[in-house]
Structure 1
Amino acid sequence: MEAFIIAAVVGVGVGILSGLLGIGGGVIMVPLFRLGLGLEAIAATATSLFTIIPTSVSGMVKHARNKTSVPKIGAVCGLFGACLSPVGVWAANISPDWLIMAVAAVIIAYSAVTMLSKAIKSPKRAGGSEKGHADGPGKNEEHLSTEEVPERAFVASFRFTPALIAKTAAIGIFAGFMSGYVGVGGGFVMVPLFISLLGVPMKLASGTSLTAVCILAVPGVIEQALLGNVDFAIGIAMAVGSIPGAIVGANLVKRIPERTLRIFFACFLAVVAVVLVLNEVGVLA
């Protein structure tokens, strides 16, 4: 019972970060399960993936109510990602532990650098606000600047073109494979790519990412469960705390400037990457 309570309390923090940053929480849970609970890499990734779904659903619903997501981007990305999630699970089951964690660290570090670069380049508005103006982008425009298009205008004006569908599908395929392989929702991959490739504002990228995670993680979870890799007791305990935490995190999105969100997200990912590397080389063992 004590372990259940501790996991649930930790889950609250995981949920807050999930709802705030648009991640399923796997980038926190995988290191936690691996370092704190001593699970094997495959068990850590499988249990993380299991916990991600209820956490993401909770955050997604709140983002939808707050209108801080682009559902059609999330749906397309999630459907394509769902096709590759089982392939990622298969690859993880035949890979050594160190390789799984190394891949996770590299991808997380790259995402951190990309996000920090975007934050540094973005202008710091007076009073911390992140405002812009919309020129009424038409259907043929394939990239909308996050600094020029307010969130509501972006959602109202966004239209899929063949090029945008291809980009969204590519993001989903990559995130889906990583979801199954590393045991994360793929938000740390999707959020930076939504911003850089699709021009989605940060405050919309988080909720859009959670929409995709809810879809693409399902096949991977089913496969991991059938293989007996999921620790359901730990996963359920984390979910108990992470679900309300995700609601809190989603509510905080509108109150924090976009530039601040980017910097915080980048620093958070950098720390996670370093911790994973230190653990696998034996420094934290």
Structure 2
Amino acid sequence: MLGHLALSILTGLFVGVSSGLLGIGGGTILVPVFRLLFGMSAMEATGTSLFSIVPTSVSGAAAHVRHGTCIPRLGLAMGLGGALTSPLGVFLASKSPGWAIMLMAAVIISMSAYSMFKKALALPGGKPPDASDAAAPVVEEACEPAAVMGSTLAKGAAIGLVAGLASGYVGVGGGFVMMPMMIGLLGIPMALASGTSLIAVTILAIPGVIEQGLMGNVDILAGIFVSLGTVPGAYVGARLIKKIPERVLRLAFGGFLIVASVLLVANEFFA
């Protein structure tokens, strides 16, 4: 029991720091961990992952808001969009075989990893990301009151719709969808995209968690144990983001996504 608790907390710490740095809820790590190390079924792994994501994202998002490394209005728009579709994702997952859920997770994760590697290799080693760098005009426009009904927030809501569906289906926060799209389509620097994504993840994950809980797919004890590590870890990750070059962040993001996708496929088809 103590070993299980220690493993859960250590996993949570790693997930939390990654979450705070990379703007993800941590599901891309938690789903493989719950599936491979905890021996959960596909639906239990996705449901418990979503449950663990909520406190992780709240902790990371709060830290980003305090440090000004996010765009709250954009995060809210994406989160509300995602909240509409995450229950649909859970419903579709409940009608799918376990291998299909894990395979879809691996495909989506790999696509996000490719996007991150491509952008990282185009950047110099550079200085740590700065919220006031060249992309600031786009960010400032997104923060203007007049932009609440403008194209930036509308695109954000559309991104949220996609992220919510993916989140509910594969049990992740949706940051792996929102991060590349915010950076590539909206021109948001990663130093601001990470915190903005966590705000959205906090909102869009809740309906999916409720639906998974009603289906009996949430291991509450395991989720709580993991959260003992993710909550402080997410706070630490959010504080570190200003000190790490953007290229390093993107390479780290892509790296752990590739590992997660390979593990998922290996477990489902070769274990």
TM bin, normalised by shorter chain, reads over 0.9
1: CA distance, partners of 2:200 / 2:154:
15
- Counting matched residue pairs gives 266
- Equivalent residue number for residue 49 of structure 1: 50
What SS is found at the alignment partner of 1:17? Answer: helix
Is 1:275 the counterpart of 2:263 in the alignment? yes
Larger Rg, first or second structure (1 or 2): 1
1: CA distance, partners of 2:169 / 2:265:
17
**Per-residue deviation at 1:9?**
2.2
**Per-residue deviation at 1:263?**
1.3
Structure 2 runs not aligned, ≥5 long? none
1: CA distance, partners of 2:197 / 2:130:
22
1: CA distance, partners of 2:128 / 2:84:
39
- Equivalent residue number for residue 251 of structure 1: 239
Letter in 2 for 1:254: K
2: CA distance, partners of 1:278 / 1:13:
22
1: CA distance, partners of 2:131 / 2:84:
37
Instruction: Tell me which protein shows more helix as a share of its residues.
Output: 2
Match of 2:134 among 148, 161, 165: 148
Any conservation in 1 of the 2:43–2:98 contact (CA below 8 Å)? Answer: yes
**Per-residue deviation at 1:130?**
5.0
**Per-residue deviation at 1:23?**
0.6
Alignment of 1:174-253 (within 5 A): 174-253=162-241
1: CA distance, partners of 2:259 / 2:207:
29
Aligned-pair Cα RMSD in Å: 1.7
Is 1:265 the counterpart of 2:253 in the alignment? yes
Structure 1 runs not aligned, ≥5 long? 134-146
Any conservation in 1 of the 2:69–2:191 contact (CA below 8 Å)? Answer: yes
The superposition leaves residues 142-161 of structure 1 with CA deviations (integer Å, 9 ceiling, x where unpaired) of: xxxxx6234xx654443436
Normalized against structure 1, the TM-score is what?
Answer: 0.89
Percent of matched pairs sharing the same residue: 53
1: CA distance, partners of 2:155 / 2:63:
26
* Cα distance change of structure 1 residues 118 and 52 upon mapping to structure 2, 3 Å threshold: same
Any conservation in 1 of the 2:129–2:241 contact (CA below 8 Å)? Answer: no
- Equivalent residue number for residue 30 of structure 1: 31
Is 1:164 the counterpart of 2:152 in the alignment? yes
Any conservation in 1 of the 2:99–2:268 contact (CA below 8 Å)? Answer: yes
Normalized against structure 2, the TM-score is what?
Answer: 0.93
1: CA distance, partners of 2:240 / 2:198:
15
- Equivalent residue number for residue 137 of structure 1: none
**Per-residue deviation at 1:165?**
3.1
